[in-house]
């Protein structure tokens, strides 16, 4: 059996540990592993290499992906998917593992529909916004990067009478911002999923300032598009000098946490076990209620991811 692995879309910590586990497990099971570089573009450009055991060396602690990644407009054209299929056919590869997000899974699902190339998707995005799974690879590392940044900023903000707005990634999903705010002791959190009440926050903060508070930390999700407005609000309404820190792509980097390394291994083993069966596969792995399962692409595409109600309930106190 020959199986290829690729990483697609945004990179995240945990991809390299997953690649390492894939290579080593394939050799242990007498499966021939192939590495596909540059994501979907690599399928088209035939950047497909038979893996060696040595390729797994030194990956466990590295962030990002040694396979590199891409977003491919060409892959939406059937002619280019045909080229990709022929590249795989020449090497005898009939099964793929893709680490990516919903866009990558949709692309591979179309590839499966066209040519019958089996694949298993491993949810890998710090946005944690894929329906059906409570956890995506890379999220724990991103949260720890954010936590470290907030803790460092707190050292300086506590030294002045200031407010700091810290903006996290996540596209339209506020998961990173909400969890970071709850676990780092922020005074304010604004995310797309929750309505906020600035007059109520004003009343609360002014009362705390009167009682001795000297600074405030606000966490915002990039999808809320409010950081600049909130910065001006802190200065003109609350009376605190204010600064904005947009963490940006630093959240996608860093060496993977223990949890992300462990989850990478479990995701890959679960995928290889499934691909070893004869049944047709065009599914993604989901992790929910402490267990792994499979879900069809249609199921994930037909529903919108939502943050758990319990987390949202906890966050309500920070946005009013």
Report d(CA 200, CA 197) in Å as an integer.
5
pLDDT of res. 172? 92
* Domain over 140-252 is classified CATH 3.40.50.460: yes
Is 55 among the catalytic positions? no
Q: How far apart are CA 161 and CA 158, in angstroms?
A: 7
- pLDDT recorded at residue 280: 84
Query: In the chain, what's the furthest Cα-to-Cα distance?
Result: 73
Integer Cα distance of 33 and 96 in angstroms: 10
Give the tokens for residue 275: 């691909």
Neighbours of 111 (CB within 10 A): 22
- Non-local (6+) Cβ contacts of 82 within 8 A are 114
Confidence (pTM): 0.95
Q: With beta carbons less than 8 A apart as the criterion, state whether 111 and 81 touch.
A: yes
CA–CA dist 185, 187 (Å, integer): 7
pLDDT of residue 302: 85
Give average pLDDT by consecutive 10-residue segment, the chain, 320 residues. Answer: 96 97 98 98 98 96 96 96 98 97 94 96 96 96 98 92 96 96 97 97 97 97 97 97 96 96 98 89 94 93 92 96
pLDDT of res. 301: 83
Q: Catalytic one among 102, 127, 129, 260?
A: 127
**Which residues belong to CATH 3.40.50.460 in the chain?**
140-252
pLDDT of 279: 76
pLDDT of residue 207: 97
Pick the CATH number of 2-138+256-303 from 3.40.50.450, 3.40.50.2300, 3.40.630.10, 3.90.1150.10: 3.40.50.450
- Name the segment(s) of the chain with CATH classification 3.40.50.450: 2-138+256-303
Strand-pairing partners, residue 97, are: 5, 120
Running DSSP on this structure, what letter comes out for residue 97?
E
The average confidence (pLDDT) of the chain is 96
């Amino acid at each position: 059996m020959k199986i290829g692995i690729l990483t697609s879309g945004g990179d995240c910590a945990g991809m390299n540990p997953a690649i390492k586990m894939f290579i080593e497990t394939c050799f242990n099971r007498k499966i021939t592993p192939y590495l596909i570089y540059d994501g979907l573009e690599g399928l088209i450009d035939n950047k497909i290499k038979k893996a060696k055991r040595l390729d797994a060396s030194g990956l466990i602690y590295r962030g990002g992906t040694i396979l590199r990644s891409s977003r491919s407009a060409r892959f939406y054209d059937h002619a280019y998917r045909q080229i990709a299929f022929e590249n795989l056919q020449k090497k005898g590869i009939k099964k793929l593992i893709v680490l990516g997000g919903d866009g990558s899974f949709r692309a591979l699902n179309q590839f499966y529909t066209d040519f019958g190339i089996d694949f298993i998707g491993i949810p890998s995005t710090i946005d944690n916004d894929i329906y059906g799974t409570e956890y995506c690879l890379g999220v724990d590392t991103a949260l720890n990067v954010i936590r470290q940044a907030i803790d460092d900023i707190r050292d300086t903000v506590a030294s002045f009478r200031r407010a700091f707005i810290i903006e996290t990634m996540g596209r339209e999903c506020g998961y990173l911002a909400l969890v970071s705010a709850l676990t780092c002791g922020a005074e304010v959190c604004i995310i797309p999923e929750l309505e906020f009440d600035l007059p109520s926050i004003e009343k609360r903060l002014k009362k705390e300032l009167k009682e001795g508070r000297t600074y405030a930390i606000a966490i915002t999700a990039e999808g809320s598009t409010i950081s600049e407005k909130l910065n001006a609000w802190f200065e003109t309404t609350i009376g605190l000098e204010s600064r904005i820190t947009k963490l940006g792509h630093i959240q996608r980097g860093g060496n993977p946490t223990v949890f992300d390394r462990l989850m990478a291994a479990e995701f890959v083993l679960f995928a290889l076990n499934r691909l070893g069966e004869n049944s047709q596969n065009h599914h993604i792995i989901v992790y929910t209620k402490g267990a792994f399962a499979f879900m069809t692409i249609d199921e994930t595409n037909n529903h919108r991811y939502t943050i758990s109600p319990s987390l949202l309930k906890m966050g309500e106190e920070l946005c009013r």
